[in-house]
Amino acid sequence: MKLVVAEKHSVGANIASVLGANVKKQGYMKGNGFIVSWCVGHLIELAGK
């Protein structure tokens, strides 16, 4: 099984659709050998100088 982490839900849903991960769970989608999940909020930010 392969894990894909997306920045937000809408992107994760699109990726899951393309990969065939069509089983919806709470916080992720799975199927076809993939788990697709997403984050809420910013994953990275610019460091101050």
Q: pLDDT tens, position by position, for the chain (49 residues)?
A: 999 999 899 999 999 999 999 999 999 999 999 999 999 877 777 777 7
**Full residue range of the structural domain in which residue 23 is found:** 2-38
Within-domain flag for 12: yes
Within-domain flag for 30: yes
Evaluate whether 35 touches 6 at the Cβ level (below 8 Å).
no
Q: List, edge to edge, every strand of the sheet that includes 28-31.
A: 2-6, 34-38, 28-31, 23-25
Within-domain flag for 15: yes
Domain total for the chain?
1
**The pLDDT value given to residue 40:** 86
14 CB contacts (<8 Å, ≥6 apart)? none
**The pLDDT value given to residue 34:** 99
Nearest to 13 by CA among 29, 2, 1: 29
Against a cut of 0.85, is the pTM above it?
no
Within-domain flag for 45: no
Question: Rg of the Cα trace of the chain?
Answer: 12
Within-domain flag for 48: no
Within-domain flag for 9: yes
